[in-house]
């Protein structure tokens, strides 16, 4: 392993510790190790489990690459891998707290997790797709006896479940300074339970979890088919329900749809409040981009770039935020101004992989219906404003919502030259900035086409 790479890794770790915060760093980034064989072009990093590997890939792959390039410009890629054998030192990243038989409550009192500062209720953007879940989460964090328990949140990957759980933790501990709380993933729950079984110390494990005031378990679907873990989890759920304590569960599907779960456990989980978070629609994605940019006062981003991100990255909010962070980082590192062309070049692969395949024919049909003109008029030679403006909007949308080249778009609009498409795109961009009706029409059409 080259000394330069090892030295760079020390700087990268220090930067990550400062930016991520100690709690997040200890839980997810501290276990990362530099693998022998790394060089100035390809850096190999290892983690002790597949779950941790996937988490770091999802949240920090781009950041790690940029950090290494800041130290060694020649670095082409950062490979994040699962180690074949889990190093023992990794266990110290999130240890099972020792609990004496005579004082389980005292041991639990040290559980004051530093929840991720990014994930608060104030920074959670609300609309119809997530309002019930957010209101339920706020109710769970209020002082006094909980209105319901457990609270079961379910949604697809990257839709805001973990954000709400951390927000509950922030609000609950702020309102109850002497309270105790634990946030743990189901995989970590299973790992610590197995360790306790091996060490013949399940009493300490149970006492630690059941003596806190708020217990939150994320990604429950990962213990599907794990009978022993499910049995212990079932008893934990019963304990919290019978004692009137707060229990929050999150998974990627409803309780009845969990695979490999005992019916009695699924039934118990569904006996509280079950709240789902639906995939974010265009307006919410646009609002989230705007909210994130408020936290970046030094960043100037045109509205059309914000619309591009919101319209094209539809899979989940995490990918949307990742694309925004990547775009801002590239612009700052290269001292570039963020424009549509710059965004398209930086995020080309991201935009193509995330995009629903919208066709130019779909765009033409939607535009003709919206403006009540014939579709054939959009490809005709007619130059009346009532036809020319919808045609320009259709070209603009074709450029923003498809991967077709300018010449291809021109051919779809009556074999027009690519320079005509460029003029149309520029014209609509200018009009959107000063004409509310045009801007509203474009937004409505983008929402319609996205379906």
pLDDT tens-digit readout, 267-276: 999 989 999 9
Work out the mean pLDDT of the chain and round it to a whole number: 84
What does the pLDDT look like over 60-107, one tens digit per residue? 888 898 888 888 888 888 889 887 543 322 222 233 333 333 333 333
Q: Give the number of other Cβ atoms within 10 Å of residue 92's Cβ.
A: 10
Return the pLDDT at 281.
Answer: 85
What does the pLDDT look like over 115-131, one tens digit per residue? 888 899 999 999 988 99
Q: Which of 37, 17, 27 is nearest to 81 (CA)?
A: 37
Average of pLDDT values for 274-293?
91
The beta strand positions in 188-241, using DSSP E, are 214-218
Return the pLDDT at 139.
Answer: 95
Percent with pLDDT over 90 in the chain:
30
Alpha-carbon gap, residue 152 to 247, rounded angstroms: 9
> With 70 as the cut, is the pLDDT of residue 109 above it?
no
Paired strand residues for 251: 154
What does the pLDDT look like over 292-340, one tens digit per residue? 999 888 889 999 999 989 988 887 898 898 889 889 999 988 889 999 9
Query: 282-352: what fold?
Result: Helicase, Ruva Protein; domain 3 (1.10.8)
What does the pLDDT look like over 372-418, one tens digit per residue? 999 998 998 888 888 999 999 999 999 888 878 888 999 999 989 99
Return the pLDDT at 103.
Answer: 35
Strand order through the sheet with 33-34: 33-34, 42-47, 77-82
Return the pLDDT at 396.
Answer: 92
> With 60 as the cut, is the pLDDT of residue 168 above it?
yes
Average of pLDDT values for 141-148?
89
- Encoded tokens for 346: 């930086």
Q: Which of 450, 401, 136 is nearest to 280 (CA)?
A: 450
β pairing state of 42-47 and 246-251: unpaired
> With 70 as the cut, is the pLDDT of residue 148 above it?
yes
* Contact by Cβ (8 Å): 339, 301: no
So where are the chain's domains?
A: 3-91, 99-276, 282-352, 360-450
* Contact by Cβ (8 Å): 288, 268: no
| CATH among 3.40.50.300, 3.30.930.10, 3.40.1550.10, 3.40.50.1820 for 99-276 | 3.40.50.300
Radius of gyration from C-alpha coordinates of the chain:
26
Kindly list the distances between the CA atom of residue 263 and the CA atoms of 224, 241, 255, 275, in Å, as whole numbers in the listed order.
12, 18, 9, 19
Please tell me whether the peptide bond between 150 and the residue prior to it is cis, using omega within 30 degrees of 0.
Answer: yes
Query: 360-450: what fold?
Result: Chromosomal Replication Initiator Protein Dnaa; Chain: A; (1.10.1750)
Query: 3-91: what fold?
Result: GMP Synthetase; Chain A, domain 3 (3.30.300)
* Contact by Cβ (8 Å): 41, 76: yes
pTM for the model stands at 0.57
pLDDT higher for 447 or 218?
Answer: 218
- Classify residue 372 as left (phi > 0), alpha (psi -120 to 50) or beta: left
Alpha-carbon gap, residue 357 to 336, rounded angstroms: 30
Return the pLDDT at 451.
Answer: 56
Percent with pLDDT over 70 in the chain:
91
Q: 20-29, 217-226, 258-267, 391-400: which has the minimum mean pLDDT? A: 20-29
Reported as a pLDDT band with limits 50, 70 and 90, residue 359 is: confident
Q: Give the number of other Cβ atoms within 10 Å of residue 446's Cβ.
A: 22
DSSP state of 280: P
80 φ, ψ (degrees, to nearest 5): -105, 115
- Encoded tokens for 16: 């990550």
β pairing state of 181-185 and 42-47: unpaired
């Amino acid at each position: 392993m080259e000394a330069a790479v090892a030295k760079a890794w020390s700087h990268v770790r220090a930067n990550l510790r400062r930016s991520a915060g100690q709690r997040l760093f200890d839980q997810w980034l501290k276990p990362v190790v530099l693998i022998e064989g790394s060089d100035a072009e390809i850096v190999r990093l290892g983690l002790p489990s597949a779950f941790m590997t996937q988490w770091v890939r999802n949240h920090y792959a781009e950041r790690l690459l940029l950090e290494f390039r800041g130290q060694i410009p020649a670095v082409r890629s950062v490979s994040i891998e699962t180690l074949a054998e889990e190093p023992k030192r990794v266990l110290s990243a999130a240890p099972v707290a020792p609990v004496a038989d005579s004082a389980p409550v005292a041991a639990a009192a040290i559980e004051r997790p530093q929840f991720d500062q990014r994930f608060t209720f104030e920074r959670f953007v609300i609309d119809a797709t997530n309002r019930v879940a957010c209101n339920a989460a706020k109710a769970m964090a209020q002082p006094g006896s909980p209105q319901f328990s457990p609270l079961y949140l379910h949604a697809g990957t990257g839709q805001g479940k973990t954000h709400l759980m951390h927000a509950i933790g922030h609000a609950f501990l702020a309102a109850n300074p002497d309270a105790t709380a634990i946030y743990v993933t189901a995989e970590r729950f299973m790992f610590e339970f197995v360790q306790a079984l091996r060490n013949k110390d399940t009493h300490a494990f149970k006492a630690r979890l059941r003596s806190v005031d708020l217990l939150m378990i994320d990604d429950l679907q990962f213990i599907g088919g794990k009978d022993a873990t499910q049995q212990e989890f079932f008893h934990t759920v019963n304990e919290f329900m019978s004692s009137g304590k707060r229990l929050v569960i999150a998974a990627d599907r409803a309780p009845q749809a969990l695979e490999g779960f005992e019916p009695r456990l699924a039934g118990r989980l569904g006996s509280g409040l079950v709240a789902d978070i639906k995939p974010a629609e265009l307006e919410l994605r646009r609002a989230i981009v705007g909210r994130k940019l408020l936290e970046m006062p030094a960043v100037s981003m045109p509205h059309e770039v914000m619309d591009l991100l919101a319209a094209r990255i539809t899979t989940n909010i995490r990918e949307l935020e990742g694309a925004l962070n990547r775009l801002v980082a590239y612009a700052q590192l290269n001292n570039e101004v963020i424009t549509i062309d710059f965004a398209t070049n930086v995020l080309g692969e991201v935009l193509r992989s995330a995009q629903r395949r919208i066709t130019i024919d779909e765009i033409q049909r939607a535009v003709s219906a919206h403006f009540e003109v014939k579709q054939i008029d959009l490809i005709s030679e007619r130059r009346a404003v009532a036809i020319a403006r919808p045609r320009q909007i259709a070209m603009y949308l074709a450029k923003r919502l498809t991967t077709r080249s300018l010449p291809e778009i021109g051919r779809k609009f009556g074999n027009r030259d690519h320079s005509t498409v460029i003029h149309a795109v520029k014209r609509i961009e200018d009009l959107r900035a000063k004409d509310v009706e045009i801007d509203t029409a474009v937004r409505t059409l983008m929402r319609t086409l996205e379906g």
